[in-house]
């Protein structure tokens, strides 16, 4: 994600700040601090599909002695999707700079 942001913003400080803000947005819109069903209605769909929520919910289930269900596949699939989108954007921006 930082590579894509770096290619879009070009300034190292701006890239670092945007990456940090993105990470905080993902963290605070996840179920790490509050349950998804207590969030505003517009935020619930976002919170349900992001990889941090999946990971936090499954680790919480394991800590309470419950089965983890499909945690590795769901979290990995969503993380890989974010990685592929970011990498595709970064490569596209890099090739645009080269030509």
- pTM strictly above 0.85: no
DSSP label at residue 19: H
For residue 1, give the 3-state DSSP assignment: coil
Q: How many CB atoms lie within 10 A of CB 10?
A: 11
DSSP label at residue 49: H
Instruction: Determine the pLDDT at residue 73.
Output: 75
Instruction: Determine the pLDDT at residue 99.
Output: 64
Mean pLDDT in residue range 24-52 = 88
Mean pLDDT in residue range 18-44 = 86
How far apart are the C-alpha atoms of 13 and 4, rounded to whole Å? 14
Q: Would you kindly state where each structural domain of the chain is located, as residue ranges?
A: 2-98
Instruction: Determine the pLDDT at residue 41.
Output: 94
Report yes or no: 86 and 3 within 8 Å, Cβ to Cβ: yes
pLDDT band at 42; cut points 50, 70, 90: very high
């Amino acid at each position: 994600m930082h590579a894509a942001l770096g290619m879009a913003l070009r300034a190292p400080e701006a890239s670092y700040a945007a990456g940090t803000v993105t990470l905080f947005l993902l963290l605070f819109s996840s179920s790490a601090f509050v349950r998804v069903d207590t969030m505003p209605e517009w935020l619930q769909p976002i919170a349900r599909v992001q990889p941090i929520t999946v990971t936090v919910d499954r680790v919480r289930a394991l800590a309470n002695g419950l089965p983890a269900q499909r945690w590795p596949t769901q979290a990995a699939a969503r993380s890989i999707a974010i990685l592929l989108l970011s990498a595709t954007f970064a490569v596209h921006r890099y090739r645009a700079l080269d030509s």
